[in-house]
């Protein structure tokens, strides 16, 4: 029995030695740039029970796989050699934190970081956003404090339709005080897409606290308030946005629509619309809203006048509501000139010309409406 035990031990020892020789062979193949044989040998070694926990085997594997990256002859032997190299170096140190070539692994990881950055850029340009995201995540595992990489990862996560990870990266950037206001609008938009306006506003509030002059944050806040029906909050936000961007016609248009909804600020709404068309003389929506606002006011006054029995008083009231209809005319006609096929504009003009007894223009617009139908 004793001889049998000794024989078995000898066999085990011989197998272990053989596998370590396999590891050394892989390294020799690497030195002579026979990367195909090196890869084959090292993959056998790390999957064998006698060397699967051998630190040097994993170290050599890292060297071999890192050498495969962009190698003209052997680069196609693995789809993601950089990730495998990183995995191998990490496994080496996991098995032996005091590994004799620990410093070399640190240097190799520095090179890996550069290679992941380059590959991430290549994958991004080729619209392989999932690949780029993976590249940047691996890079972050090496350089966990690089805010620029977090930003790149956030963008790639968005484009790879991975909002969960994108939010994680934007949250990290906010936590790390990344010095760029542009992270907050897309960060909030991720929550808006999910219908979580409360969380979106929370994100924007953080951004506004850090960057009170950032227009994109103010405008996004304003849009949320408008959609949510929070007129007072929207007006406050839009006035702040106008202070930062006084030449933005869209802001004045939005202000006009908000003021018009209050029913008590018609003059202020008119002033906002007029500022919008002053800044943008082909602003169809602003011209139409101006015309519609004057027309509706004329119609309201005309309806009120219908209850007047005294002819003299009615005549005075008619002068007032006719003036409103006349004020509507140039704005609706300008809207028509900018978009002659818009049905709402044509209907408004038809009604306006009927009210003003302008038979020729009434017939013209009526024919155009009939043609559209």
What SS3 string covers the chain? CHHHHHHHHHHHHHHHHHHHHHHHHHHHHHHCCCHHHHHHHHHHHHCCCCCCCCHHHHHHHHHHHHHHCCCCCCHHHCCCHHHHHHHHHHHHHHHCCCCCCHHHHHHHHHHHHHHHHHHHHHHHHCCCHHHHHHHHHHHHHHCCCCHHHHHHHHHHHHHCCCHHHHHHHHHHHHHCCCCCHHHHHHHHHHHHHCCCHHHHHHHHHHHHHHCCCCHHHHHHHHHHHHHHCCHHHHHHHHHHHHHHCCCCHHHHHHHHHHHHHCCCCHHHHHHHHHHHHHHCCCCHHHHHHHHHHHHHHHHHHHHHHCCCCCHHHHHHHHHHHHHHHHHHHHHHHHHHHHCCCCHHHHHHHHHHHHHCCCHHHHHHHHHHHHHHC
Q: What is the mean pLDDT of the chain?
A: 91
**pLDDT at 208 > cutoff 80:** yes
Mean pLDDT of the region 256-285: 89
Say if residue 344's pLDDT is above 70. Answer: yes
Which pLDDT band holds residue 311 (cuts at 50, 70, 90)?
Answer: confident
What number of other Cβ atoms are within 10 A of residue 299's Cβ? 17
Size of the chain, expressed as the number of residues it contains: 373
Asked if the model's pLDDT at residue 12 lies above 90, the reply is: no
Point out the least confidently predicted range of 75-84, 186-195, 279-288, 349-358.
349-358
* Percent above pLDDT 70 for the chain: 94
Least confident of 183-197, 250-264, 329-343: 250-264
18 pLDDT tier (thresholds 50, 70, 90) = low
Per-residue pLDDT, 263: 63
Average pLDDT value for residue range 284-313: 90
pLDDT computed for residue 278 by the predictor: 96
Residue 78 or residue 307, greater confidence = 78
Classify residue 16 as exposed, middle or buried by CB count within 10 Å of its CB (0-12, 13-18, 19+): middle
More confident residue, 189 or 237: 189
Q: Evaluate if residue 100 carries a pLDDT over 70.
A: yes
Give the lowest-confidence range in 95-109, 155-169, 285-299. 285-299
Q: Residues of the chain with pLDDT > 90: what percent? A: 70
Q: What is the pLDDT of residue 6?
A: 47
Span 319-342, average pLDDT: 92
Report pLDDT for 17.
60
pLDDT, residue 77, reads 96
Which is more confidently placed, 227 or 47? 47
The pLDDT of residue 2 is above 80: no
* Residue 153 pLDDT greater than 60, yes or no: yes
CATH class of the region 17-100 = mainly alpha
Mean pLDDT across the stretch 69-80? 95
Average pLDDT over residues 42-61: 95
pLDDT at 19 over 70: no
Tell me which residue of 327, 259, 253 sits closest to 285, measured CA to CA. 253
What is the mean predicted confidence (pLDDT) over 93-100? 97
Q: What is the pLDDT of residue 225?
A: 87
Residues whose CB falls within 8 Å of the CB of residue 273, separated by 6 or more in sequence, listed in order: 252, 253, 256, 286, 289, 290, 293
Q: Which residues contact 261 (CB under 8 A, 6 or more apart)?
A: 231
pLDDT of residue 367: 93
pLDDT mean over 67-85? 96
Summarize the confidence of residues 254-279 as an average pLDDT.
87
**Spatial separation of the C-alpha atoms in residues 291 and 336, rounded to whole Å:** 11
Q: Would you say residue 14 has pLDDT above 60? A: no
From 146-155, 168-177, 216-225, 285-294, the region with the lowest mean pLDDT: 216-225
């Amino acid at each position: 029995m004793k001889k049998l035990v000794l024989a078995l031990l000898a066999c085990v020892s011989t197998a272990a030695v053989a596998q370590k020789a396999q590891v050394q062979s892989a390294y020799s193949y690497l030195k002579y740039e026979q990367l195909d044989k090196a890869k084959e040998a090292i993959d056998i070694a790390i999957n064998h029970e006698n060397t699967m926990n051998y630190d040097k085997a994993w170290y050599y594997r890292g060297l071999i796989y890192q050498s495969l990256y962009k190698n003209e002859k052997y680069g196609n032997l693995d789809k993601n050699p950089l990730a495998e190299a990183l995995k191998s170096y990490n496994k080496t140190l996991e098995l032996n934190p005091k590994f004799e070539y620990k410093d070399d692994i640190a240097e190799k990881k520095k090179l890996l970081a550069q290679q992941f950055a380059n590959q991430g850029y290549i994958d991004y340009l080729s619209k392989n956003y999932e690949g780029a995201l993976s590249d940047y995540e691996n890079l972050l595992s090496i350089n966990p404090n690089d805010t620029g990489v977090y930003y790149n990862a956030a963008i790639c996560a968005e484009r790879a339709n991975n909002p969960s990870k994108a939010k994680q990266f934007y949250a990290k950037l906010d936590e790390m005080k990344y010095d760029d206001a542009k992270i907050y609008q897309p960060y909030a938009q991720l929550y808006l897409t999910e219908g979580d306006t409360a969380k979106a506003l929370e994100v924007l509030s953080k951004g506004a606290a850090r960057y009170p002059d950032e227009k994109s944050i103010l405008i996004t806040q304003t849009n949320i308030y408008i959609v949510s029906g929070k007129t007072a909050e929207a007006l406050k936000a839009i006035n702040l946005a106008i202070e930062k961007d006084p030449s933005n016609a869209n802001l004045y248009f939005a202000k006009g629509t908000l003021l018009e909804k209050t029913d008590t600020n018609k003059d202020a709404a008119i002033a906002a619309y007029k500022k919008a068309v002053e800044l943008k003389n082909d602003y169809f929506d602003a011209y139409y809203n101006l015309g519609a606002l004057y027309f509706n006011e004329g119609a309201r006054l005309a309806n009120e006048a219908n209850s007047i029995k005294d002819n003299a008083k009615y005549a005075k009231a008619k002068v007032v509501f006719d003036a409103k209809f006349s004020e509507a005319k140039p704005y609706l006609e300008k809207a028509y000139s900018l978009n002659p096929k818009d049905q709402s504009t044509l209907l408004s003009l038809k009604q306006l010309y009927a009210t003003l007894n302008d038979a020729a223009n009434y017939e013209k617009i009526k024919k155009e409406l009939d043609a559209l139908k």
